[in-house]
Amino acid sequence: MNQSRDEFYLKKCFELAVKGKGLVSPNPMVGSVVVKGNRVVGYGWHRAFGLAHAEVEALKMAGTKAKNATLYVNLEPCCHYGKTPPCTDAIIQAGIKKVVFSTIDPNPAVNGKSIEILKQNGIEVRYGLCEKESHQLNESYFTFVKKKRPFISLKWAMSIDGKIADACGRSRWITSDDARQFARQLRFEYDAIIVGSNTIVYDNPYLDFCAPCGIRKSLVERKKFYKIILDTNLKVVPESNVFLNKASNVIIFTGRDTSINTKFHENVEIIIVDKDQEGLLDLSQILNCLYEKGIAKLFVEGGTKILTSFYHHKIFDLIYVFIGCKIIGGSADYPPLKGNIISPDTQSDIILKDVIRFSNDVLLIIKKCSQE
């Protein structure tokens, strides 16, 4: 099927938008192209949260050539003041004659309002093309705005026989170097990583991300990244590796009846929440708090109790399962998930989205397909 001119340039916007992955949250990834005749006279993307939006970047590059040109963008332009002025103002002032975008912004401050503003100023508006691709690109943003919670991915690494640790709780290293490097880069795409206190006590991880090559240091330094620990009885100690990087904010969630006598570094925040009927920290209170902090993408790395809690409450969107080519053996003291046993013939509410192979491991990317 032949691709229309508008579809062609919108897909250019998608290619630009993805350059902001990991840096723009809780804003969406957005790319924009200004076209005059058959020439691209300006392009841009939202580079990091708080910086200029894609449309403004593209118009700046186009300069006076933007007059009577067409502006393409993968999401409805904003029409409200946030960290930056409304993009609709810049579009009108530049003399753009037509705006083409993929999908309406679900943010209540926008949500179709830009269409009327642009039309009232004599600008032709077309939208609804490549909507599926647009939603896939910014799935986390749509989840954050519509469901008022972060987009949540569960992640674990296990042996072929389904264990995330041996009988002594040791899990280093089930997967190979290249798989672990991929996992660290995957963290970069998220606003926060969450683990249980046992992971800190037994594995003593740093929980730092690894930025992909080619991203300017000044942009990486703008990235929002939280390390979150669920610690019912506040047993982690300030000397743990997770606290060494002072550039990262650390949040410790603990129970309401916990005595807080330990002094942590200034970048550590302790938040008290209720416990649920099983004696675990209340996930709904935790997620509400993270939503209020603007954490739009959450990476859940375990251990078993934390992963099980998210899974059985059906509060997740993706699962990353790294499978190392090892057989640990013994009893399954440390499986990735515990809890209710279901019949093998039960219809699954998850689907296999992708498979990635490393030197001696594989990664299964699994998507939740049921509605919440």
Residue numbers annotated as active site: 55
Rounded-to-integer distance, Cα 293 and Cα 291, Å: 5
Rounded-to-integer distance, Cα 325 and Cα 194, Å: 26
Rounded-to-integer distance, Cα 272 and Cα 285, Å: 10
Torsion of CA 93, 97, 46, 185, to 10 degrees: 180
Torsion of CA 181, 184, 189, 191, to 10 degrees: 180
Cis peptide leading into 339, omega within 30 of 0? no
> What are the start-end ranges of the H helices in the chain?
5-17, 54-62, 87-94, 113-120, 131-137, 139-147, 177-188, 197-203, 217-220, 283-292, 304-312
Instruction: Give yes or no for a contact between 76 and 127, defined as CB atoms under 8 angstroms apart.
Output: yes
